[in-house]
Structure formats: structure tokens, C-alpha cells
Structure 1
Amino acid sequence: MLTEAFRAFKHRRRVRRALKEIESRQVTPRPHGLDRPLVVTLTSYPARFETLAPTLRGLLRQNVAADDTQLFLTEKDAKQLPQDVLELQSQGLTLKLCEDLRSYKKLVPALRENPDRFLVTADDDAYYEADWLADLVAGAKNTPGCVVAHRCHRVQRLNDGTVAAYGTWSHNIDAPARSADLCATGVSGILYPPASLDSRVTDAALFQQLCPQSDDLWFYWMARLAGTEVAKIGGRRRILEWPGSQTVSLRSDNSRADGNDAAIAALNDVFGPP
């Protein structure tokens, strides 16, 4: 009980420091230097709106300038956006309306709109340091054509090459790596270069059937079907989420091993080993 209380105290202290850092952050963004446009994309929903603005401010105040930062929402949800989020449109935020694809809204609508860009996904409930985007861009330049991520799991395989149960994977690996057996996890940010994903990636009927709540697995399979490897940059990544943001979560169903294992089985059956 004391340990839990101390952990909660430390988390509150980290959150206060993060919020203070974002508000005081003064950056002069430099050009990204990529050969295609660079767009940061994310989604949200009303249960997260109370803590959405700090995340967006952190994304808009980066050391490297994105060409756009796009927030994808359903029309119904967009009508409920708080004023502190709406005001960020004057600081570089673009609001986009799309159909309700749950967590897939952070990437699929942007791919449908224009896949010939570097797309960087972020979550709506986390703290992003000033060099978050710069590190991903540097990774893209160092490993051309790769999906680049701050946080990855190492996939384990069975003797026949199919993907093993999610619980057997090496989670949140602690060293830079490049491999066909790395699965990028979305919360810490993922950069997708043009043509890095199979053309079926935007097939909503298919991903809603096979893995409706396991978008990281879907995007991993789509990368492998396109022959793309994943490059993990940096060390083990600590996630700092805002208090209360996980009360209702697009990721909550994924935390159950059986949910991810069902998705793995379905993807193995339809597409074979990635």
C-alpha cells in the first residue's frame, strides 16, 4: 500500500514537471530535411479531451518542424472539443473529420488522404519531449525505408515460423535494433515512410474483422507484407501519461493477452507469418 502511494506521488511529480516543461518550452524549429512532407497524426475522443491540450502543445513545440499536425476525429466528437484545443489551430493544429475507426483513426485516414508522405503517429494522452520528433526523423535518415519507433517489442516465433503468443515476446526492448521481428508500439510514436505499408492497410472491413482493437499488430503485418523492417531508436522508453487519461482507453482491450493472441492467430491464418 505504501509502495502504491509512493508510486502515485512520483507520478504526480513527473506530471507536474512535464506540464511545466511544456509551458516553458521555447524552440526555434529547424526544417526536417526529408524529401517528402512530414505530418504528425493522432486521434482522440471525448473521454480524453480534458488532457488533450497538453499533449498537443508538446507535439506542436518540437525542435524539428512538421509540415502539419493533424487531429482526426469523428464529426460527433469534434463538436465536443474544448476551447483550449480549438485555440491550438492558430499554432499549427489541423482538425480533420473521419469515420469512427477507433484507434485506427490516428493513421488510416491520413494514409487514405495521401500515402506519399512521412506519417508520424502519436497518442493523445502522453508527454512528448522537445526532441521526440527530431529523433524519429534522424532514425528515418539513418535507416531509409524502415518504419522507425521509439518503443518496440521483439516478436517470438514458433518452429513453423508463425508468430508465438504475445506473452512470450520480449517487451519494450532496451537497445537500438533493426529487424523484421520488431513490432513498433504506438504510444511512444512511430514514423512510417512512404510505401512502407501494404496497400491493404486501409481496408477497414479487413482490420475490423481480424484485429479490431490491435492496431499495432495490424500495422506490423502490413509493414512486413510490404517487405519493410522496423528500426527501434534509443534506449528503453518511459511512458508518461496524464492522470485520468486511462480511465477509458482505446488500448484497454489490447492489454488482455487473449485479445492480442486472437488477433495474432487471425493475422497468421489470413496472411501467414509476417
Structure 2
Amino acid sequence: MWISYVLGQAISFFFTLFRMIPLAWDNRFSRARFPREGDVIISLTSHGERLHRVHYTLESIARGAVQAPVVLWLDEQDYHAGWPRPLRRLVARGLQVRCSDGCYGPHTKYWGQFREVVDTGKRVATVDDDMIYPEWFLQRLLFIGDLRDDAVIAYRAHRIELRDDELLPYVKWTPVNTCRASHLHFATGVSGVLYPASFITYVVEQGDVFRELSPRADDVWLHACALRSGHRVRQVYSHPRNFAVVPSTQAGALVIGNTLMGGNDEQIERVYNREDVAVLVEASRRED
């Protein structure tokens, strides 16, 4: 599964370079502004050298058919450092940049934003900082979200595989091939995920115990929260969508650590309890 993903991204590398040219142009010359308010917020994080490339992702979102406020969350060190000129141009056009109140790793992408909108009825869509999103990204995510406001909506998800009532290793989980919502579906944040207001409330109520249980695997913690709160995961299409990746020296660092080196399995073992596994086993028996 992960091999096909990596190969697919490698093949699209040169096509991505051509896609980046108009985004660089937009960053220098566009006057299009991000809205300041809305019923859904797009949230992401970035850090270090990646701040010099995050404008490609942000410009791809800015050209979307449907617009929403965008908030970039930074750790304190990056927040108080000098921002690259392309990022400053985006701030002048309405991009909101917030300083995280702690070191939350990949959880920074959603944690501060969830706490900011909890109990307001607003939804949050998370994105990664090294992707180029299509113009229809938010429009289609919201279309499905409006149909299923009780589910987590993702463009890319894995099916959790079990054997003898036990979870198989993460690398043996398979791509989801249905639009049906299920507890067995595990949303991966890379292509974008939409979280309903009821889910946000539950996650905030759990506090930041993820810092000990799943510090480098936000997808694991968020799926466990979905499972325990009764929110199934639905994929937008019947097949996963992998969007273009901005070339980056650090891209894939979490993929290597969490997938290839078993980091996800270690954190899955800490996060999921017997009751969680029982729910997954029951879902598997019911759907097979």
C-alpha cells in the first residue's frame, strides 16, 4: 500500500513542478484575499525549512472554488522567527497565523483550532503543508460533509484489517474502496479531512493525553476519538485520492518513522484498548 503511494508521488514529481509555476506567480501578483470568518475553518501547521514552501499549499487552497478562512499554526520558535517573504505576502492577503501554546508535533495541525471553535458549531478541515490541493478540494469535502454531519470525511482512508480478533500491523491495512461510512475506516490527513462540530467537542474534552499516547501519530489518536464518540469515517470517493506533493527535503519523514519503522503500530498499541478492538471486530463481522 505505502509502496504504491510513494511510487505514485515519484511519477507525478515533474508534473508537480509545472503546477508550482502558476502558484508562485499567484503568490507574487494575486490580490485574492482569504475570508476572515466562515462556518468551516481550514487549519494546518508547518515548521522550520518547510515554511519556505508552504506558500504553494496555501496558494492552491486560495484558488479554490469555495473559500474559507485559513489558519496556519506555528510553534513558538517559528512564530517569533522571521517569516519568508512568500508567507508574509499571504498574511497581507488575510492568512491567519497563530502561535501554538505548546509543542504538539503533528497534532498542532488541529489541536489549537479545535479548542478555538469548540461549541460554536463550526467545522474544521485539516490539510498538510506540502500538498497541492485541487480547486474542488473544499467544495466536494463540504458536499459530503453536509450529507453526513455525523461522520469524519476524508479523501484518503485505510481499512483496518483484523485476524483472529486482533489488529494486523498498519502496513497490512488496505485502501478503502467504498463510500460507505465505517468504524473500520481510518482517515489519513495527507489529502485533507473534514471534522464535524460534534467530533471536535469530543476531542477537546479528552484533553492532550495524546502527547503521551500518540505524540507522532495524530491520525491514530483522531481515529480512536472517532471510534469512541460514534463518528464513522467516510471517504469522499470510493477510491482514495492522492494529491500532488510539493518537493521537500523533509517530506515523508513521518511516513518513514510511522509506517516503515513501525512507529504507528507502537502508538496504536498504546491508544486502542480492548473496548476499541471489540467495536472494530463487531464492525468487521457485520460488514463482511
Normalized against structure 1, the TM-score is what? 0.84
Give the secondary-structure state (helix, strand or coil) at the position aligned to 2:246. Answer: coil
Distance of 1:179 and 1:14 partners within structure 2: 34
Q: 1:102: which partner in 2?
A: 105
Distance of 2:206 and 2:44 partners within structure 1: 16
> How many residues are paired up?
260
Q: Cα deviation per residue 1:93-143 (whole Å; 9 max; x = unaligned)?
A: 100001221110000111112223210000000110111011110110122
Whether the 8 Å CA contact 1:51–1:245 is kept in 2: the answer is: no
Distance of 1:164 and 1:52 partners within structure 2: 35
Q: 1:232: which partner in 2?
A: 235
The one-letter code matched in structure 1 to 2:111 is V
Q: 1:211: which partner in 2?
A: 214
Distance of aligned partners of 1:125 and 1:159 in 2 relative to their CA distance in 1, 3 Å threshold: same
- Report how far residue 246 of structure 1 moved: 2.9
Whether the 8 Å CA contact 1:60–1:91 is kept in 2: the answer is: no
Matches within 5 A, 1:164-179: 164-171=168-175, 173-179=176-182
Q: Which has the higher helix share?
A: 2
Whether the 8 Å CA contact 2:158–2:188 is kept in 1: the answer is: yes
Give the secondary-structure state (helix, strand or coil) at the position aligned to 1:111. Answer: helix
* Stretch moving more, 262-271 or 224-233: 262-271
- Report how far residue 13 of structure 1 moved: 2.3
Whether the 8 Å CA contact 2:224–2:276 is kept in 1: the answer is: no
List alignment gaps of at least 5 residues for structure 1. Answer: 1-5
Distance of aligned partners of 1:24 and 1:166 in 2 relative to their CA distance in 1, 3 Å threshold: same
Distance of 2:171 and 2:9 partners within structure 1: 26
Give the secondary-structure state (helix, strand or coil) at the position aligned to 1:179. Answer: coil
Give the secondary-structure state (helix, strand or coil) at the position aligned to 1:224. Answer: helix
Q: 2:49: which partner in 1?
A: 47
Q: 1:195: which partner in 2?
A: 198
Distance of 1:24 and 1:188 partners within structure 2: 24
Distance of 1:137 and 1:108 partners within structure 2: 21
Identical pairs, percent: 25
Whether the 8 Å CA contact 1:111–1:202 is kept in 2: the answer is: no
Q: 1:258: which partner in 2?
A: 262
Give the secondary-structure state (helix, strand or coil) at the position aligned to 2:230. Answer: coil
The one-letter code matched in structure 1 to 2:48 is P
Distance of aligned partners of 1:199 and 1:176 in 2 relative to their CA distance in 1, 3 Å threshold: closer
The one-letter code matched in structure 2 to 1:74 is D
The one-letter code matched in structure 1 to 2:137 is W
Q: CA RMSD in A?
A: 2.8
Distance of aligned partners of 1:23 and 1:83 in 2 relative to their CA distance in 1, 3 Å threshold: closer
Give the secondary-structure state (helix, strand or coil) at the position aligned to 1:220. Answer: helix
Q: Cα deviation per residue 1:172-221 (whole Å; 9 max; x = unaligned)?
A: x34433111101000100000101253456522x2121111111010000
Whether the 8 Å CA contact 1:108–1:202 is kept in 2: the answer is: no
List alignment gaps of at least 5 residues for structure 2. Answer: 1-6, 280-288
Give the secondary-structure state (helix, strand or coil) at the position aligned to 1:58. Answer: helix
Q: 2:64: which partner in 1?
A: 62
Distance of aligned partners of 1:230 and 1:21 in 2 relative to their CA distance in 1, 3 Å threshold: farther
Distance of aligned partners of 1:214 and 1:232 in 2 relative to their CA distance in 1, 3 Å threshold: same
Give the secondary-structure state (helix, strand or coil) at the position aligned to 1:17. Answer: helix
Matches within 5 A, 1:116-195: 116=120, 117-160=122-165, 162-171=166-175, 173-195=176-198
The one-letter code matched in structure 2 to 1:126 is M
Give the secondary-structure state (helix, strand or coil) at the position aligned to 1:140. Answer: helix
